[in-house]
Amino acid sequence: MSTSLIYFIHALSPLHMGTGAATGGIDLPHSREASTGLPNAPGSGIKGVLRDELKSKCNHHTRLFGAEHYNQTNRDQGALLFSDALLLCLPVPSYSGGFAWVSSPAALRRYERERRACGLSALPGNPSVTDGRAACAASPLLAAGKLYLHDVALEHDNGSSAAAAKIAGDIAQALYGNGAIQDIGFFTARFAIVDDKVLGYLASEAMDVRTRIAIKDDTKTVRKGGLWTAENLPSETVLG
């Protein structure tokens, strides 16, 4: 007997799940899907974090998470299997409203597929947006009928506003639950659906890239080779 559940990751601080290999000008890029190029969170990494966190707190640790990697006599992988967490909403700076949680039709279709696999209902709406347009509720994101996200200007698709608001409310309900009415309203007002191509661009250009340095203990100067860049998912990213 097996049970499938949807899980979410809501990044409250910048999140880095590395690949161990440099690409382009970034020394430590974030993990991405090979097929779409969108950032993700590999299920193996999530399982490893939970394994360590619950090691001293769970009575059935080995049964759930499997044997330790160095155990040569027991190769049991455990009863818990985690799929990769896929990008659902990317926080992007907005000229109006501070920032937006940005999704796309393809990201929402994949999320809906996972819902159906878990026996949940379909999303309450199916807005389709074309290149150069964005769907959102009448919200603080709008400036003279347009959305300015990062360095992209998009026309507001007014005909899809109601569907976008319903989808935003559904996702917010899953993230925050019944008791956080203010959080649900805040999320819904800043949720936007853009074209798949635009989301792909933003997921490349609107990531949190930070420069890191390693300092010598004695001279307090940068160690040779101790300067590198790391790519992170920005705070408030939602994966599922």
What phi and psi values does residue 68 have, to the nearest 5 degrees?
-65, 150
Q: What is the pLDDT of residue 70?
A: 57
Please give the Cα distance from 33 to 85 (Å, whole number).
Answer: 10
Query: At residue 199, what is the residue type?
Result: L
- pLDDT of 180 above 80: no
Q: Kindly indicate the confidence band of residue 130, based on its pLDDT and cuts at 50, 70 and 90.
A: confident
Cβ atoms of 123 and 115 within 8 Å: the answer is yes
pLDDT score recorded for residue 134: 95
pLDDT per position as a tens digit, 39-49: 999 998 998 88
Percent over 70 (pLDDT), the chain: 95
Q: What is the pLDDT of residue 179?
A: 64
pLDDT tens, position by position, 72-119: 666 667 888 899 999 999 999 999 999 999 999 999 999 999 999 999
Question: For position 75, what pLDDT does the model report?
Answer: 63
Percent over 90 (pLDDT), the chain: 59
Distance CA 174, CA 165 (A): 14
- Give the 3-state DSSP-derived string for the chain, with helices as H, strands as E and coil as C: CCCCCCCCEECCCCECCECCCCECCECECECECCCCCCEEECHHHHHHHHHHHCCCCCCCHHHHHCCCCCCCCCCCCCCCCCCCEEEEEEEEEECCCEEEEEECHHHHHHHHHHHHHCCCCCCCCCCCCCCCEEEECCCCCCECCEEEECCEEEEECHHHHHHHHHHHHHHHHHHHCCCCHHHHHHHHHCEEEECHHHHHHHHHHCCEEEEEEEECCCCCCEEEEEEEEEEEECCCCEEC
Please give the average per-residue pLDDT across 221-225, as a whole number. Answer: 83
Q: Give the phi and the psi of residue 226 in degrees, each rounded to 5.
A: -95, 25
Quick check: pTM over 0.85? Answer: yes
Q: Taking each helix axis from N to C terminus, what angle separates 181-189 and 161-176, rounded to the nearest 10 degrees?
A: 140
187 — phi, psi (to 5°)? -65, -50
Distance, in Å, from the CA atom of 215 to the CA atom of 217, rounded to the nearest integer, reads 6
Q: How confident is the model at residue 125 (pLDDT cuts 50, 70, 90)?
A: confident
As a whole number, mean pLDDT of residues 156-171 equals 91
| Confidence (pLDDT) at 80 | 84
What is d(CA 136, CA 165) in angstroms, rounded to the nearest whole number? 7
pLDDT in tens, 55-73: 878 878 778 887 776 556 6
CA 226 from chain centre, in angstroms, equals 29
For the ranges 28-42, 202-216, 218-232, which has the lowest average pLDDT? Answer: 218-232
